[in-house]
Amino acid sequence: MSLSDDIEEIAVSTAKKFDHNELQQLHILYALKKILGEKIPEIALSELEEKLSRVRSNSSNTISISEDAKVKIKSINSFEDALNVAKDIASTHLNIDIKVQKESNDSALTTQEIKTAEVRPLNELLSKMNSLVGLEGVKQSISSLINTHQANHVRMTEGMTKIPVGLHCIFTGSPGTGKTTVARSVADMYNAIGLLPTNKVVEVDRASLVAGYVGQTAIRVQEVINQAIGGVLFIDEAYSLSSDTGAGFGDEAISTLVKAMEDHRENLAVIVAGYKDPMKSFIDSNQGLKSRFQNVIDFPDYTQGELSQIFMNLCTVNEMDISDAGLAKLKKYLADVNPIGELGNARFMRNLFEKMFANLSNRAASDGVIEINELKEFTDLDVPTAEPRKTALGFGPNQT
């Protein structure tokens, strides 16, 4: 899809959102703000939404496009055109003067100029990912995926056909095992090798996609997709969309998502995440999903040794030490608790770190004066004691 097509699609979605039966220039301006963002800081989305909420409209199941709106959309062939159209509409309808600044070489704005961050070298990004604790299989899978896309690029530069390799991924595993962190790394790498124009990641869950009634869900999903175009859309606990057995809100969200993955297959990567078995059910729930997700990557629970390393990394980042006795008790605590599944993750260790710092702080304050030298090192006194395991209530075969 061209830039003008994207703008028209967002504008139409906006008109539907406000129950307007005619697409007008304010809808176009709203779409331009969505795409250009801080390139037009003089305009706020909240201000546009307020203006649009006051536009009267007759109830209709169809949306027409006003003639002047058609002219504006057709005139947009580049990001420089988009800025000029935004300037014109803002001046006419909002009495706002947008300052359009051209580059020093007077070149037109390109997709590369609206990246969310400076593109970093691929080897640097791979090194950063490889520094993560554990996840060896994940790292190998991501590296293989990037190598495959790079090989495709070499083939294309030599005039050969492009092998079908999808951008989309399924991440399976327990919460807190690094799925979101790796999704951000994937966005950086896709951007670095030219697969995506930006490295932005739009992170959502079911609550962000499903509206209160049928019809509005598709609009909400489309709005999220419009925000993610050019980057990565990361949907956490995506399996919850297919668990909808009532009015079909989840089905509506999935259908809209599948269409967007086809329409924007060259400039949008979708990464869905969640527990392994529910994610399999989610993908099996829709034939379109099955055909579009080629890359399945499993995130295993952390081992006790990896959890200890995560804790040590937290100490380093937060300028803390831990005594030998403290570290020994920490390892015993992990062995006693044996955190697996939802507990066996980085979030568990962050919570433990914070609890130990609270224990340390209370010890330091016990004499009424907190001194800096008391706040530099954890000891065995700060490590909590593992709670006894709870046994199930009831009468077993040996109970009387």
Of 218, 183, 158, 177, which is closest to residue 16 (Cα–Cα)? 218
Reading phi first (left if > 0) and then psi (alpha if -120 to 50, else beta), residue 368 is in left
Side-chain half-sphere CA neighbours of 95 within 13 A: 0
Same domain, residue pair 102 and 169: no
Q: Indicate whether 243 belongs to any domain.
A: yes
Q: For residue 119, what pLDDT is reported?
A: 60
pLDDT at 356 over 90: yes
- Banded pLDDT at 91 (limits 50, 70, 90): confident
Same domain, residue pair 78 and 207: no
Residue-by-residue DSSP string for 358-376: HHHHHHHHTTS---GGGGS
Residue 284 belongs to domain with CATH number:
3.40.50.300
Mean pLDDT for all residues in the chain: 81
Q: For residue 212, what pLDDT is reported?
A: 62
pLDDT at 368 over 50: yes
Higher pLDDT, 124 or 101: 124
Q: Indicate whether 400 belongs to any domain.
A: no
Q: Indicate whether 389 belongs to any domain.
A: no
Same domain, residue pair 99 and 149: no
Residues 6 or more apart in contact with residue 155 via CB below 8 angstroms: 161, 162, 163
Residue ending a domain, among 253, 282, 299, is 299
Q: Indicate whether 358 belongs to any domain.
A: yes
Same domain, residue pair 155 and 246: yes
Name beta bridge partners: 172. Answer: 274, 298
Same domain, residue pair 204 and 310: no
- What is the separation, in whole angstroms, between the first and last Cα of the chain? 72
Residue ending a domain, among 88, 114, 140, is 114
- For the entire predicted model, the pTM comes to 0.64
Domain residue limits at 328 = 304-382
Q: How many domains is the chain built from?
A: 3
Q: Indicate whether 387 belongs to any domain.
A: no
Q: What percent of the chain has a predicted confidence (pLDDT) above 70?
A: 84
pLDDT at 78 over 80: no
Q: Indicate whether 160 belongs to any domain.
A: yes
Residue ending a domain, among 114, 136, 164, is 114
Same domain, residue pair 199 and 50: no
Q: How far apart are CA 14 and CA 20, in angstroms?
A: 9
Q: For residue 284, what pLDDT is reported?
A: 86
Q: How far apart are CA 293 and CA 376, in angstroms?
A: 48
Contact by Cβ (8 Å): 242, 250: yes
Higher pLDDT, 214 or 224: 224
Q: How far apart are CA 102 and CA 109, in angstroms?
A: 8
Order of strands, sheet of 232-235, starting from the edge strand that comes earlier in the sequence: 201-204, 232-235, 269-274, 169-173, 295-299
Contact by Cβ (8 Å): 169, 175: no
**Four-CA torsion 323, 328, 329, 332, nearest 10 degrees:** 160
Same domain, residue pair 129 and 272: yes
Three-class secondary structure of residue 310 per DSSP: helix
Q: For residue 232, what pLDDT is reported?
A: 92
Scanning the structure block, which residue is given the tokens 């419009």? 226
Residue 353 belongs to domain with CATH number:
1.10.8
Q: How far apart are CA 129 and CA 140, in angstroms?
A: 10
Comparing 237-246, 302-311, 328-337, 340-349, the range with the smallest average pLDDT is: 237-246
